[in-house]
Structure 1
């Protein structure tokens, strides 16, 4: 085998076509590297560049495989080759390995690109390895197919055409499968499609079954090639018997590998790795729940498709469907009657009569973290799990939010979170309610939300709030820290031990503020049932601009417990606001609380939060959903519910970025797009010219040697005469 391998490699590397392939590979690789990596500061080299360069393999592999056996037949050297002191399997293996080495050498050389990228930014190695694994395995499959085609004919042109035809069918499988009417047949074709497997691996979805399946395919076609070559020796009967046995073994191994497959999440952001909340909630649902993906099945994102499949694996009550809402008007009228524009990749989660529409535009939240940078967070797992939890829940509890005093309303992420956790938000204009027949806060009110009132409450409204608290009411209050005009409302909170310190808090400890701004607070989390989930999930909270709550201990029998606090180095800025970071004579030292619980046994509970920016979606995204988790735990505590609500932190996406040095950027572009491809061609031309010159010299030396031998013989004859 080694002799055959050496002979084949010598043939490849003295042929210009090998260097043309290398030049084409590095030209495509360089173009996409410059466009998608350097151009967009991305480090996802495997997905954006390497996967595109695989086109060079598709174009050139048939030209390499055509001569493996077809050329031997054409030159009538086949019998000579297979009667050499090397087994048939050894000959085929030598040819296969030689071609594999030639095809894979540029992939090995391309490792220099990610090494360069890793010096400039954050890169996921597992995501990159998925792309390399896909390229190597699919390359082996294509090579074995091309070798089989080459063994079937002595016409090299026909071998190339047939190989291209097979490749076309393989990579058009994505289109072909969508014309299959049967659902089970579609799933079978989809699972066995080499294109789908390649695309999934490149996207970071590596399944053990797929890896084994590609290896089985490569070995199967190689063995069939051996059977074709041995056909004359085996005879028709033995050939067919062994072929059928090979197909049966291949089918059995494929079935076993696919049936016992394990999914490895190699995505850069670990998008397929579920939280413990998702596993717990989905595993325990007892009702049939349908998830409808809105869009053409053929255009489903591979990551989303695998994500939905993983949900279905958690519980057999989960059923995944793909809906074309343009053609299914009945579905649209039932679930989307109030949706004016349906975005593709949106979803509907339904169980019995309850359903939720998940808008694809809300999957990713983006915030600007500085002048030139942004942070994007994928919320899909949180939204999907929360929707499953919601449609499987019983009657919802009502949270009333007060209006009539310029109060803020909850941002989308917070209101959706409450709804998904089976809380129904209801508006309550307190003054209008007091003027109505039922002049009290509704009995159905599980908790009352007062969010940053801008004008003061009337005496009647304050009395209604006191009565509500005395009857065991639950109130969550968030205030605007810059509003000093709520005299009656502030006095109402003081009766429950919640006295506000004048001024805005400035933090003196660097770890307790963000954005290099000392009054943008990231408070310390104190241990309590409300903050347990924050501590367990290692989440932080951002209150940003806040007031301080004085520690008054007991008031009217109510006990105050701090939930979020500043450090001891904080102070309340009450004057000289032009020098915010400097403590003045009138400023009051801390520490302070920025969120406090006031409660009394057999009476009411109130939570005061001294920040209104807390409810901003962008602020929440910047602390990975910590603000939402705190708010949800607080509402659950007020409502007397176990803190098992669903609030899964989002996963940061698009953070695989690099800052490529501008000083050398143009040089890198020239090297990758121009110099490397040209270098491959120049080396190829020099090698071929040198090889041919060497052949000419050898021929000349042979002729010279023959001529000298003739002269020597002639001289000897003359001497004898």
Structure 2
């Protein structure tokens, strides 16, 4: 085999074929690399490879057309059968020689991600996973070309057939999307497919009985399935064609997923095509060959089916930067604790399923036997969604059902977007499949839904859409409350929020809130620095041993404030039940906060914990009107200071909870984004603690925003020239070798 391998490899590099194939591949990849990665600064090399996967349609025929067709044309193919080397070694040697030519070119591209890493953050794990997928895809294409070259003696016909077959495989995904998915349409298509297959069997075996028997049996199965289990028939043609969609597996590698099922799939194609090549060379009796081929094909199909049934947590490994397809530990613990059956329906037309959503659903299904995922084609089942919603759902929306409870997740809620005013277009910024799914499962499996009331009537700050959405994801119902017009806090209130009032509450409102708290109510208060006196709100806080100091806090330790803004505090998170699993390693940003004084002698039933504290180098500025510097001056009160506190009172088997933050700016969306969602995570944990949920299960949205590389025009031009000159050097070098050989 080694001798055959060296001989074939030498033939590629003593002629122009090997150099041209390598140069063609490198110049195409180089052009896309220069435009996408260098000029545009896009950091994902896998995207570049996915754009140039079409080049296999042209490169593979050139590389494979002569490998065996030339043997037939020269009538030397019979020598293969009488050679002292076994036939399978000859075939594998020829195949490995072609793969080596392709692999050498791809090896050069392995340096491209390293070049990009000089200009910013590049995920090398994603890049090399994509390169691995690209290599496997190319190796499978070469195996197909090898087989086709073995069945014809014309290099031109071999090249054209290889191009046509690879083109069909390439556009299979598009074809499946356009196929009708109804049971009747699938039934009719299968009739003609079976007739064609029977004709093909007859041509291969020259045995009419075998062809008729196989055709009649297959048509009988087709008819039985259609009349007995028609829902199996719906979309079955698209699913069957999906087995030929080679690009779908590469898309996993290209998006940063190391896919074992994809590796098995490509290796299966390679192995089966090599087997077919050997069969085509040594065939003497078609009947025996056909039987053996059928057995090997069955083995290949079974292997792929078995691997496909293995839970995705064992076969797919997420190597993306932000763990886009990885389920968080929080969700894993929640799902494993399910004791009710949950059905998740993906509403999508056959062939139009969103691959990212499917990956997440597969992971949920592998986590618990109580979760079952179903796909419902709205074309086949047009009335299915009407039992859950009167609104029309977009493709790839989800419906989560448990018993009589259900929740609809629209596709637009899974992908978050914002309008880009520079391009006047909508830009997708986040992927929230896990957050929405976990929230929906929590909702349908919960017996009750907590309610949060927000106090109004005092020019309170409104909650941002993002925070409102996050609270609702925790399945907490939000409703406004005006205690001037209401005689009391409603009995169904699990928590009352007072968010940055600009005017004081009335004495009656204070009494109603205190009455609510004395009966086990929970209150969450945010205040702002203001010169307006609020004696009633102050008395409400004093009743639980809390008060604020005059002035604003400034931080003297640069590690505990936002760069350039010493009043934008990054306080240390203290160890407390109210903050959940957050620690001092987590960041929250809290501008314009005041010191919270905690009294130890309120009542023996009251327990107070600090949640957020500044450093010992912080200080308070009181004369803000005449402030000339933010630097610490003599007379400034020194820290550490408390800017967030939690109070618990247990009296007569009734538990009251009060959480107080001395700046409502902690709820600002910009502040939250500056610390990667840390502020809202803290608020979610606090609310879960207040309404007695075991733990917050609000999963943050995973960012799809791209941090572009900073590549100067000079650098882009230089490296762009390098990647184009490499294939040019190959062609020149190959030409010199070829010319010298010709002269000899």
Contact 2:432/2:701 (CA < 8 Å) preserved in 1? yes
Computing the radius of gyration from Cα coordinates, the structure with the larger value is: 1
Partner of 2:319: 266
Cα distance, 1:259–1:308 mapped onto 2, change above 3 Å: closer
1:177-256 aligned within 5 A = 177-178=176-177, 179=179, 181=186, 182=233, 185=236, 186-187=238-239, 189-190=241-242, 193-232=245-284, 235-256=285-306
How far residue 187 of structure 1 moved from its aligned partner, in angstroms, is: 4.6
| Distance (whole Å) between structure 2 residues aligned to residue 463 and residue 92 of structure 1 | 90
Partner of 2:638: 589
Contact 1:25/1:56 (CA < 8 Å) preserved in 2? yes
Partner of 2:711: 660
Contact 1:548/1:593 (CA < 8 Å) preserved in 2? yes
Contact 1:598/1:606 (CA < 8 Å) preserved in 2? yes
How far residue 289 of structure 1 moved from its aligned partner, in angstroms, is: 3.5
| Distance (whole Å) between structure 1 residues aligned to residue 291 and residue 395 of structure 2 | 50
TM-score by length of 1: 0.86
Partner of 1:546: 593
| Distance (whole Å) between structure 1 residues aligned to residue 390 and residue 531 of structure 2 | 42
Cα distance, 1:479–1:187 mapped onto 2, change above 3 Å: farther
Do residues 623 (structure 1) and 675 (structure 2) align? yes
| Distance (whole Å) between structure 2 residues aligned to residue 327 and residue 581 of structure 1 | 68
How far residue 660 of structure 1 moved from its aligned partner, in angstroms, is: 2.7
Contact 1:23/1:681 (CA < 8 Å) preserved in 2? yes
Cα distance, 1:141–1:382 mapped onto 2, change above 3 Å: same
Cα distance, 1:177–1:363 mapped onto 2, change above 3 Å: closer
SS in structure 2 at match of 1:535: coil
| Distance (whole Å) between structure 2 residues aligned to residue 115 and residue 430 of structure 1 | 63
How far residue 407 of structure 1 moved from its aligned partner, in angstroms, is: 0.9
TM-score by length of 2: 0.83
1:568-620 deviation line (CA, Å, top 9, x unaligned): 11112222565453023453222111111233222633211112121223433
SS in structure 1 at match of 2:577: coil
Partner of 2:463: 410
How far residue 92 of structure 1 moved from its aligned partner, in angstroms, is: 1.6
Partner of 1:707: none
Contact 1:633/1:643 (CA < 8 Å) preserved in 2? no
Partner of 1:94: 93
How far residue 183 of structure 1 moved from its aligned partner, in angstroms, is: 5.5
RMSD: 3.0
Cα distance, 1:146–1:329 mapped onto 2, change above 3 Å: closer
Contact 2:339/2:370 (CA < 8 Å) preserved in 1? yes
How far residue 130 of structure 1 moved from its aligned partner, in angstroms, is: 2.0
Unaligned stretches of 5+ in structure 1? 369-373, 434-438, 695-721
Aligned length: 676
1:89-488 aligned within 5 A = 89-178=88-177, 179=179, 181=186, 182=233, 185=236, 186-187=238-239, 189-190=241-242, 193-232=245-284, 235-260=285-310, 262-293=315-346, 296-321=349-374, 330=383, 337=390, 345-351=396-402, 352-358=404-410, 360=412, 363-364=415-416, 378-433=431-486, 439-482=487-530, 484-488=532-536
1:506-542 deviation line (CA, Å, top 9, x unaligned): 1112221224321111211111111232139x53322
Partner of 2:199: none
Cα distance, 1:333–1:662 mapped onto 2, change above 3 Å: same
Cα distance, 1:657–1:148 mapped onto 2, change above 3 Å: same
Residue 553 (structure 2) aligned to one of 505, 509, 532: 505
SS in structure 1 at match of 2:485: helix
| Distance (whole Å) between structure 1 residues aligned to residue 694 and residue 419 of structure 2 | 29
Cα distance, 1:608–1:580 mapped onto 2, change above 3 Å: farther
How far residue 651 of structure 1 moved from its aligned partner, in angstroms, is: 3.6
How far residue 296 of structure 1 moved from its aligned partner, in angstroms, is: 4.4
Unaligned stretches of 5+ in structure 2? 187-232, 421-426
| Distance (whole Å) between structure 1 residues aligned to residue 382 and residue 464 of structure 2 | 32
Cα distance, 1:251–1:353 mapped onto 2, change above 3 Å: closer
Partner of 1:689: 739
Do residues 79 (structure 1) and 131 (structure 2) align? no
How far residue 252 of structure 1 moved from its aligned partner, in angstroms, is: 3.2
Partner of 2:722: 671
How far residue 215 of structure 1 moved from its aligned partner, in angstroms, is: 1.1
Partner of 1:607: 659
Do residues 521 (structure 1) and 573 (structure 2) align? no
Cα distance, 1:644–1:520 mapped onto 2, change above 3 Å: same
1:614-639 deviation line (CA, Å, top 9, x unaligned): 12234334434332332233223333
How far residue 451 of structure 1 moved from its aligned partner, in angstroms, is: 0.5
Cα distance, 1:293–1:254 mapped onto 2, change above 3 Å: closer
| Distance (whole Å) between structure 2 residues aligned to residue 328 and residue 657 of structure 1 | 43
Contact 1:457/1:486 (CA < 8 Å) preserved in 2? yes
Cα distance, 1:319–1:175 mapped onto 2, change above 3 Å: farther
Do residues 573 (structure 1) and 572 (structure 2) align? no
1:322-362 deviation line (CA, Å, top 9, x unaligned): 567799875666655578xx666554434434314345366
Contact 2:580/2:695 (CA < 8 Å) preserved in 1? no
Contact 1:399/1:425 (CA < 8 Å) preserved in 2? yes
Partner of 1:697: none
Partner of 1:7: 7
Deviates more, 1:330-339 or 1:279-288: 330-339
| Distance (whole Å) between structure 2 residues aligned to residue 595 and residue 226 of structure 1 | 75
How far residue 114 of structure 1 moved from its aligned partner, in angstroms, is: 1.2
| Distance (whole Å) between structure 2 residues aligned to residue 498 and residue 327 of structure 1 | 62
Contact 1:620/1:626 (CA < 8 Å) preserved in 2? yes
| Distance (whole Å) between structure 2 residues aligned to residue 140 and residue 588 of structure 1 | 71
How far residue 412 of structure 1 moved from its aligned partner, in angstroms, is: 2.6
How far residue 26 of structure 1 moved from its aligned partner, in angstroms, is: 2.1
